Each structure stands twice: as structure tokens, then as C-alpha cells.
Structure 1
Amino acid sequence: MDADYTGQHWRSLYYFNIYRVLLGSGLLISVWEFKFTNFGSHHYTLFLYAGIAYVIFGLTSILLIKLRTPSFNWQLTIQVIGDIVILTAMLYASGGLQSGLGAILLVSLAAAGLISRGRLALFFASIATISLLLQETYSLLTVNFYSAQYSQAGLLSMAYFAVAWLAHRLAEHTLASEQLANERGIDLANMSQVNQLVIQDLQEGVLVVDKRGIIRQHNSYADKLLDLKPSLGKTKLLRLSDYAPDIADRLTSWQGDSGINSELSRLTHSNALVRIRFLPIQADFRNGVVIFLEDIGRIQAQLQQLKLAAVGRLTVNIAHEIRNPLSSINHAAELLEEEQQENHKDPRLIRIICDNTRRLNKIVQDVLQLNRCNISKPDIFEVKDFIKKFIEEFCDVEKIDRNVFIFHNPHNYLVSFDRDHLNQILWNLWRNAWRHCRKQADSVYIELSTTNGNNICLSIIDDGPGVDSQQVKEIFEPFFTTAAGGTGLGLYVARELCETNQSSLDYIEGSSGGHFRIIFSRVKHADR
């Protein structure tokens, strides 16, 4: 059936007809221009007409191939029989087998056998043999002094069948190879699909980058982290240096020294903290590399859920086992203090008890607050106005001169954040800055700006001594404190609240004083 033949079969038949047109044109030119004696020596006019008919026949066949009508088998059969008839006529016009034109049919039979994948190959050889013998017999009867060369005709006929049989065997081998290639292609396609499903299901970003730095494959998580969508001004090729220049730089460094691996980096687009790992596709990593982006924020969020669950169970015990005894102790201490004041005794020891019970109660309240960190009600508001009002409120409550805080705010930005959470975070950072600064005018510098990825950056910088380099990694740990009477939960709670609102809180080393920075996603620009 014609449905068994693909576009490749039709293309092969098309190229075969181009060969037919070139062959006919070459024979015509050789007789018309160069006057070869062998071609057309017996009947010059018949040879010319046959050559012109051969060229026209080839052009007509090309047109029918374009139209795909009639079917492939019919077109191939008609074209091969046309070859046999026209070339036999040219053979007769050239004086028989001594002209050498009989060998041209070998090419036609071989091509027909390969194009048809072995079908009808022996049939075409039979027709060519019959045509050749009829031509010799007709020449013997009509041409004077013609000596029929049946022995050469027999040998040439054997060559026709040999070529047809070889074409048939080659076609069978080709079909087997194509079938094997199709099976392997299906297996590879299935394997590729399975690999794609596995990659898509990974809870980390995956990038497949070739040696030119082009991203050939990526999963949805990598798209989320890097926003791998070509813009109108860019080509469809995703170049790693365009979407993640920091990762591209790290890849270049890793190619120079493969021992450098598994580094932390904060992505510009999503502000996500990721661990980057490189894995070469082959022994020579310059041929391509797989990049894994492990989202540390997601891992921290999972750890946070575990911590919150543990803290939730802890707070229940604290509420029942600690707060009630503390209330009793504090109430008894206050009664003792009143009694000692009436008896004019020094209440210093009682005040120590009251101060420590209040401190313990503060720790309980901070721990209870941890259990509510994962509850966020984000609101979109202008952060510049929020900070200005917060500075006024903070200075009024803490009885601090407002000139201590200098707020640099050239622009206004919209952010999405829980107002109560942001108020608690800023209160903690402002109090830390006030505690460690020199308590002079402009001691605390506050600035609103944007990062390279157009995220909002809030910096709180004081002129104090800063955090000791050996303690930087510990300041966000729970219950770590350097202040007398501190609970060590302020910065820990502040970072947890930032992460709950898809933001980050970090301490920036290298500044002359203490420098904390909050980065939160920007909704849109509101330039004032």
C-alpha cells in the first residue's frame, strides 16, 4: 500500500528522476554537439527523438512526484518500464549492444530495487531482459548485415538479474536496519521521556548546559528559580550567562578547577539561596555539564516546619508547667516586697526575684511567638511611609532622640509583607542598632534601595563596633545572645518572620559598624 512509503521514498524517486533528466540531456548533447559515432549511428533521428522523450519523461515524472499521484508503486513501475523502453530504442538506434548503452539499464535496475526496498526488482530485471532480447531479434530481422549478439545479450541479462538480486538483498538489510533504528529510536524516546519526568519531579533545579553555555534542558523548578523564558529581544536559545551570570562565572571557575564544587549563592532573579553542584556529562566536562540548584530556602522551610512542630509541643508544656508557677512566684514576691516596705526593710532580694521571674516570662512569650511565625497575612503597602511612621513610633516609645536615625529614602516602593511581622522585625533591629551604636546624631543609617534583580533592599547600619567575625554565624541561632538579660530569640524570630514572608534577613560583614539587610520581593515601582 502507498501508506507504507514515507517521504524518504518519494525524495529518492525525485532524485532518481533528476538523474534521468541529466542522463538524457547528456546523451543528447554528446550526439548533437560532439557527433559521437557510436550513439545514433544506425538511426540518428530516432536517437534524437528518444533522447528528447527521455528528458520530457523525466520532467513529467518530477511533476507527478510533486503531486503524489498516481501512487508510489505505479509511478515507480511506469518510470522503470519507461526507462527500459526508451533506452532500448536508443540502443537499437545506436547499432545494438556494441554501443554500450545496455549497461545504463544496470543503474536504473539498481536504483529501482533500492528505492522500492527490493519489491519488483526481479520483475524489472525480467522486463529488461525480454526487451534486450527482442531488440536483438528485431535488429537481426530489419538491419542489413547485422549480426545478433545473443551471447553478450545473455551475459548482460545475467548482470541485470545479479544487480536486481543484490539490490533486493541490500534492500532487505536496509529494512532490517531501519526497523532496528526505529526500535532504538522508540526506546531512546521513552528513556528521554522517563528522564524528563524524573527531572521534572526533582525538588531542585536542573540545568543541562552544553560546551557553548547554551541551556539545552531544564526542569520547572529551575524555571521558577531563574525565569528561563526568552524575551522579545532575545533569541530562543537560552544562554546561561544571560539568565544567571553568577552561575556562569562559577561554571567557568569550576572548569578551571573541578575541585571547586557545592557552593552557596543567592540568585538575583528569585532572591533564593541555592547550593550549586556541577556534574560533567562525559569524562571531559567541556562537552557539557549538568547543574543542580538545591534550594536552601526550601530545605530551611522544611526544617522550620519541623522546628515549629517541636516548638508547638514545647509551648504547650511551657504554658502549663512554667507560666502558672511563675505567676505564683511573682505574685508572692510582690506581696513580700510590700511587706518589707511596710517594715522599712531593704527589698533588694525581692526585686531580684521579680526581675528574674519577668525575664523568664519574657522567654516564655518569645517561645510562644515562635509557634505563630508561620501564620502570615501579607498586605501590599508603601514601605517608605511605613518606615517613616515606624521611626516616629519607636523613638516615642523608647524615649530616643529622632536625630539618631537618618533615613535615606529617594524613592517609594510597594512590597507584600505582613505589617505586624514587619513591625516586629524592625523593632528588634532598631533596638539592636540603638543598643550598640554611639547614641549620637546620625548614628543609625537606614536606606531603601534596589538590587540588581530589582528586589527591594532595606539596610540598617549603625556606627557601633559591629558583630565579631567569630560570632556572625551564631547570631541567628536561637538562645544565642551577647547582651546581659537577653533571651537570644530576637534575631532568630526576625529571620523566621522574613522567610515566612518570602524575604531574607542577613548580616553583612565588612562594614565599619553593624549592618543588617532585609531583601524582599518588589511588587512594582511607585516613584515619588
Structure 2
Amino acid sequence: MQDVLPVVPRLAPLKYFNLFRLIIAGLFLVVGREMGLGSEAPALFVGLSIAYVGAALALGFPDAILRFGLDRLITLQFVIDIAALTALMWISGGFKSGMPVLMMVYLAGAGLISEGRTGLFLAALATLGVLAENLWRHYTGVDAVEFFQVGMACAGFFAIAISSRLLARRARFNEALAAERGAQLGRQQAVNERIIEDMRDGVIVMGEGGTVRQANPRASELLGMALDPGTRLVAVDAWFADCARNFSTDGCVQRLGPAGKLLRCRVASAKAAGSGDTLIYLTDYEEIQEQVQQLKLAALGRLTASMAHEIRNPLSAVTQAADLLGEEKRADVQARLTRIINDNARRIERMVREVLALGRRENILAEALPLAEFVAEVVAEVVDEFALRGNEEREVFARDIDMHATFAIDRAHMHQILGNLLGNARRYASGKPGSVRVYSYDLGAGRIALHVIDDGPGITEDQVTHIFEPFFTTDAKGTGLGLYIARELAEANGARLEFAGNEPGAHFVLTGRSQP
């Protein structure tokens, strides 16, 4: 930091020191003789006192700064001070007159007001004056004092000059730091105010008496009235009175203010910030409901369009096969057409069943399912669905699950999730013994992971980003809803279904709690 005091901060202390200088000069002129000063040359003492008063007056006016400049004026004033005090000491009995003590006061002021080494220069000037005066008295034999005493006073000159300079630097540093912090705080406050004004939520700062201390424009808009500082919130709505008495951080939804809008209100205490105020956040719940409804309608529209597209294909196949069945006389062709009808009808039924599963997300009854036993049941169902080879098909599934492991989830949801994962794994696996691996892993802290891995071709990079999207499938007979619904059901139970990569086939991980 630059070792130069700014001009404006030095003007105030210089002004007060000029007043001090004028008072001292006036005392010398008025009561100096009564104080025993100027005893060795009374007439000269009066002349020096008048000259000192004149110098204090002449250099104390603001226009003196324009003539000399601030730094030169300060140096000139203190040089005149030291010279005047030295001369007065010379004709007032020397060191015993007390002038060196007064010099120390002036040197302290010079260290606080001047810049650079001016204080040390003045201390050296005062030292030369005091030593020269005492040396003259020593050789003339006129009331000299011990040089040790004089030397200690001169050392004190330098000590005071250095100490006052260090104090001035410390004060200047603290002042600059405070100014910088103040500027930063001002900028931050301006940013915070702009953020609060532009917030989509209403913000009210309520004082201890239930009055508005501060509110952003959005709060006035939501409540339908101006919230000027001092407005009693009780007059706006009685709910604010309860809020003032018993504030709770739990959000509530209710209609407030003259506008009667449905608002979500959240209350927080500002005591942590050293204030007894209460913060009230208001959110337009009607707007949120509108947005949610729009999202629901958009999702329903996409789902309906996708289902219509997916159902059209098997329905066309059913219709065509039914038409051909009425015309066909051969038994083998009739059987094939009947099989086509049944397969596509089951496909439509499975699609409807999976979509209906989404509607059962809220009807969750979580329980700690014994994982080994439950996986064995689902594996048996998958084996029955995919083949009739009995034990050979069962050997495709390699299970390594702790007999004591449990998974906290709704039984029906777990059946659908696991059935989809195992069914997909078996569909793409090679069919060799152990080509589908199912194992559990205890993650600690009451968490468990269930892994399902096959040895099939895996999932390409292009497909990875779409596998959990509805109606995305690589199987001509699939609906494309299996993984999408499996993940939705997992999330509804507080679990998480993720694709962990290819090893070399697809690796899926279901993570959740071991206990409800």
C-alpha cells in the first residue's frame, strides 16, 4: 500500500491541529509571562509570541493550501512550530522551561498528519535545537542541565515520531480496508436487492411487531396490495398474526391478501443473522398447479400418441388375421392365424397392463423382501415363460445372493422390476450355463444393490441414452415400456435403477434400502 496519506482524510486532523497551534500561541502571548516564560528576554518573548500567533493565523486559512500545496504547508507549519518552541525555550530558562515536552506533542501530531520521513526530520530538527541550546548554556555556565537528561528527551523525540508514524500507517490501512469492505458490501447489497426484486417468489421481512420492514414488488403483486415499510401484516390477513406469534418453517398452502391467490408460504427466522425479524416467502401455488397440469397434459398427450401408434400395429395384425381366418379352410393355416391373433392380443394386453402400473405408483406398501427367495421365484417364472427345457434353462441363471439380504420395496413393484430385468437378460443372453448372473452387494449404512448381468451383445452407445425412454425398444415384439416403468416404480419406492455398462452384456443395478 502506498505510504502517502490521502488529501481529504488529512484535512480534518490538520484543521484541529491548527486550532491547537493557535490556542498554544495565544496562551504564550496572554499568560506566558505569568507562567514564567521569557524571563531572560521579555520583550523578545512577546515579539516571538506575536509572530507565532501571526504565523498560525496566516498558515491556518484554506487558501494557504492553494499557495503552498498540502504537503509543503504541513512541513512548513511544523518547522515553524519547532523553531518557535526552540527560540522560546532559549529565552525561557532552557530545558527546564518544559518546551521539550510540548515539542513531543507537536512531533506526535506531525507523525499522524505528515507523510514519509517528515516526522523523523522534525525530530532531528528538535534534537539539534535542544542540544544546541543546552550546549550553549553549558559553555556559558548559565543554568545547564545534565546531557543525559537532554539525550533521553531527544531519544524520546525519535521514539514518538516513529510510534506516531506507525500508528498513522495502521490507522490508514484499517481505514482503507474498511472503505474497501464497505464498497464490497455496498455492491453485494445492490446485487442482493436486485435479485430479490427480480425473484419470482414474494419476500417479506416482518418485524417483531408484525409490521413490514422490507418487501419486494413480487410480494405486493401476489397479495394484491402495496407493502410499504410499516404496514401491519395483520391488516392484510389474520394468518400473519399467527405467523408472528408462532413461526414455523413448515410450508403451508392457503389464500392470502385482498387478491385471494392460493399461495405457498414458508416462514424462516432471521435470528441467525443477528436480527429478530421473520422472513416470509410467498410462491404462487396457482401458477405451479398450472405448470404441473400443463406438464401432465403434455405427458399424457405424448403417451396417448405413442400408445395409439404402438397399438395400431398389433391391432392391424389381429384384424387381418381374423379376416383371413374366416376365409381359410385348412386347419394348419387356421392354427397359425389363431396363434397370430393370440400373440398380438397378449401384446396389447401387456402394454395396457404396464401403462396401468404407472397409476399404482402411489399405492406403495414397502416391506423387507427376502431377496434370495424372491429372486428364485421370479427366475422360475422367467424360465417357464422362455423355455420348456427344465433344469437346463434354470442353469442359465447364476445366483449369488446372501440368504439374509433384504430389499425394502413394494412386492408387486419388485416383481415387475425384476421380471423385466431378468426377462431382458434372458432374451439377449447366449443361453449357456451362467450366462445371466444375479448377485447382491451390501453397500453399508442400510443400503443394498442388486446386479443383473448377461453375456449378450450389450447396449450400443447410441442406445444407452434412450433405453429408459418410453416406447424405445430393439425387440420387434417388445412394447418399449418395460425399462421405463421399471425405473419409475423403483423411484417411487425410493430406489434407483441404473445401467452400469457392458460386461460384455448389459449390466443393470437396482439400489435401495434394506429395511423400510
In the superposition, the TM-score normalised over structure 2's length comes to: 0.49
In the superposition, the TM-score normalised over structure 1's length comes to: 0.48
Which of structures 1 and 2 has the bigger CA Rg?
A: 2
